[in-house]
């Protein structure tokens, strides 16, 4: 038995029983291998290490009120990994292989699947890397696909704890016509410098603008942006943001709950008219934002602040959406969309 205080979990690494590996070589995938050691043997010349030939996914498994285990929309993650891999020119696992490895990872790590009622879950991190030795800048011929997992709790602070974020106008995470819409490790490397400075100033996340014109809101370093105005759910339309599966689900949920839904370019000045704002994504779920500071230079003190609701409580509409989505994931309410995949 593992000794974990589930309700105190944060979004950090915990060693589990196993990780799964599958290699692509000579045009075919190997058998799935289960390993207790989560270190790997890799050529120091692997494309992943030099040219960021790497893409990954993030999804969660939940232990429900009814004792059943649910995976949230894994086929969407498989499809997004396939898109990312295509961009990198490497071979992705099929949807069947992806889902088989998700299910097996959960089954082999049941000790680490948090109990119902703790708001924790088992985070799965499917990771695809270019593995053959290479020197020239090109797509890798051989790949290693790994299914990693770790039990997790809230990404920042506590569940539903509102956060303060910053728009850092002198930094971008993505380029126009670049790779912001794919889930590549390199995108996160591009966000680290601004995130580290913002973090030292007390901000929990960086909100990036569209890199071409710096006029519209794009997304956060590890999540999408949404806002509520009256009865409307509003979220950015942009070619340089990651198509979030959580956000897509929230749009459907909002419409189902009788709200209007708008996916459109959002000008920064519009922030002044929003009632609620937040981050959404697998890791952050819904994290309410109570203040957005807009800084022309992250390093300077010049700032325009936008405030939403209270710093102590999640806004009413965001809370309603949070309860609906997590209710489906933990089996508290019926899943009208068939989003959950049960693990027998």
Give contact residues for ligand PLP (rule: CB under 6 A).
Answer: 58, 219, 222-224, 242, 244-247, 281-283
Residue of the chain from 99, 212, 283, 333 that contacts ligand COI (CB under 6 A): 283
Taking contact as CB under 6 A, which single stretch among the options 92-100, 201-209, 281-289, 331-339 is the one that binds ligand COI?
281-289
Q: Is 309 in the site for ligand COI (CB under 6 A)?
A: no
Q: How far is the CB of 300 from ligand PLP (least distance, A)?
A: 25
Q: Which two tokens stand for residue 168?
A: 């850092």
Q: How far is the CB of 283 from ligand PLP (least distance, A)?
A: 6
Query: What residue ranges in 107-240 does DSSP mark as E strands?
Result: 121-130, 143-152, 163-168, 205-209, 217-220, 224-229, 232-236
245 binds, among ligand COI, ligand PLP, none (CB under 5 to 8 A by kind): ligand PLP
**Residue closer to ligand COI (CB basis): 184 or 268:** 184
Q: Per rule CB under 6 A, is residue 333 in the interface with ligand COI? A: no
3 state DSSP class of 98: helix
Q: Given 183, 204, 295, 317, which residue is catalytic?
A: 183
Spatial separation of the C-alpha atoms in residues 67 and 265, rounded to whole Å:
42
Q: Which does 150 bind (CB under 5 to 8 A by kind): ligand COI, ligand PLP, none?
A: none
- The footprint of ligand COI on residues 37-76 (CB under 6 A) is 58
Give me 22's structure tokens.
């599958």
Q: Which residues from 70-129 bind ligand COI, rule CB under 6 A?
A: none
Name the helix (H) or strand (E) containing 147. strand 143-152
H-assigned helices in the chain = 47-51, 74-88, 95-108, 185-200, 245-256, 316-329
The half-sphere exposure of 278 on its side-chain side, counting CA atoms within 13 A, is: 32
In the list ligand COI, ligand PLP, none, the entry touching 244 (Cβ below 5 to 8 angstroms by class) is ligand PLP
- Angle (CA) 249-250-251 rounded to 5° is 90
Q: Of the candidates 52, 134, 222, 235, which one interacts with ligand COI according to CB under 6 A?
A: 222
String of DSSP letters for 299-310: TSS--EEEE-S-
Residue 55 has a CB neighbour count (10 Å cut-off) of 30
Angle at 56 between CA 54 and CA 58, to 5 degrees: 165
Match 């089954």 to its residue by tokens.
Answer: 107
Minimum gap (Å) between residue 311 Cβ and ligand COI? 24
Name residue 184's beta-bridge partners.
55
Min dist CB 222 to ligand COI, Å, is 4
> Which lies closer to ligand PLP via its Cβ, residue 79 or residue 97?
79
Shortest Cβ distance from residue 266 to ligand PLP (Å)? 15
Nearer to ligand COI, 22 or 81 (CB): 81
Among residues 16, 109, 238, 282, the one that binds ligand COI under rule CB under 6 A: 282
| 183 labelled catalytic | yes
For the bound state, the minimum distance from the C-beta of residue 10 to ligand PLP, rounded and expressed in Å, comes to 17
H or E segment and range at residue 28? strand 28-29
Q: How far apart are CA 88 and CA 83, in angstroms?
A: 9
CB nearer ligand PLP, residue 91 or residue 246: 246
Proportion of the chain in helix, strand, coil states, percent, rounded to 5: 25, 30, 45
Active site residues: 183
Task: Tell me which residues touch ligand COI (CB under 6 A).
Answer: 58, 188, 222, 281-283
């Amino acid at each position: 038995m593992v000794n974990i205080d589930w309700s105190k979990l944060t979004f950090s690494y915990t060693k589990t029983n196993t990780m799964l590996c599958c290699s692509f070589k000579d045009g075919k995938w190997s058998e799935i291998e289960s390993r207790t050691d989560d270190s790997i043997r890799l050529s120091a010349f692997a494309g992943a290490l030099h040219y960021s030939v790497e893409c990954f996914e993030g999804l969660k498994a939940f232990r429900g009120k009814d004792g059943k285990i649910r995976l949230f929309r894994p086929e969407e993650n498989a499809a997004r990994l396939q898109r990312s891999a295509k961009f990198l020119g490497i071979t992705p696992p099929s949807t069947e292989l992806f889902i088989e490895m998700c299910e097996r990872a959960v089954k082999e790590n049941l000790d680490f699947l948090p109990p119902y009622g703790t708001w924790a879950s088992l985070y799965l991190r499917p990771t695809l890397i270019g593995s053959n030795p290479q020197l020239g800048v090109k797509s890798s011929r051989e790949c290693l696909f790994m299914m990693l997992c770790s039990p997790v709790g809230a990404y920042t602070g506590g569940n539903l704890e509102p956060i303060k974020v910053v728009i850092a106008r002198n930094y971008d995470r993505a380029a126009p016509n670049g790779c912001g819409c794919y889930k590549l490790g390199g995108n996160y490397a591009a966000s680290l410098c601004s995130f580290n400075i913002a973090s030292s100033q007390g901000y929990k996340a960086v909100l990036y603008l569209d890199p071409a014109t710096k006029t519209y809101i794009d997304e956060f370093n590890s999540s999408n942006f949404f806002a509520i105005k009256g009865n409307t759910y509003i979220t950015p339309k942009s070619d340089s943001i990651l198509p979030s599966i959580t956000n897509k689900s929230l749009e459907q949920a909002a419409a189902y709950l009788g709200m209007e839904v708008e996916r459109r370019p959002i000008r920064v000045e519009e922030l002044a008219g929003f009632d609620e704002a937040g981050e959404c994504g697998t890791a952050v779920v819904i994290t309410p934002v109570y203040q957005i500071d807009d800084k022309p230079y992250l390093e300077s003190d010049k700032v325009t602040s936008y405030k939403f609701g209270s710093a102590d409580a999640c806004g009413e509409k965001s809370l309603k959406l949070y309860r609906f989505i997590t209710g489906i994931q933990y089996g508290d309410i019926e899943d009208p969309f068939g989003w959950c995949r049960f693990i027998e």
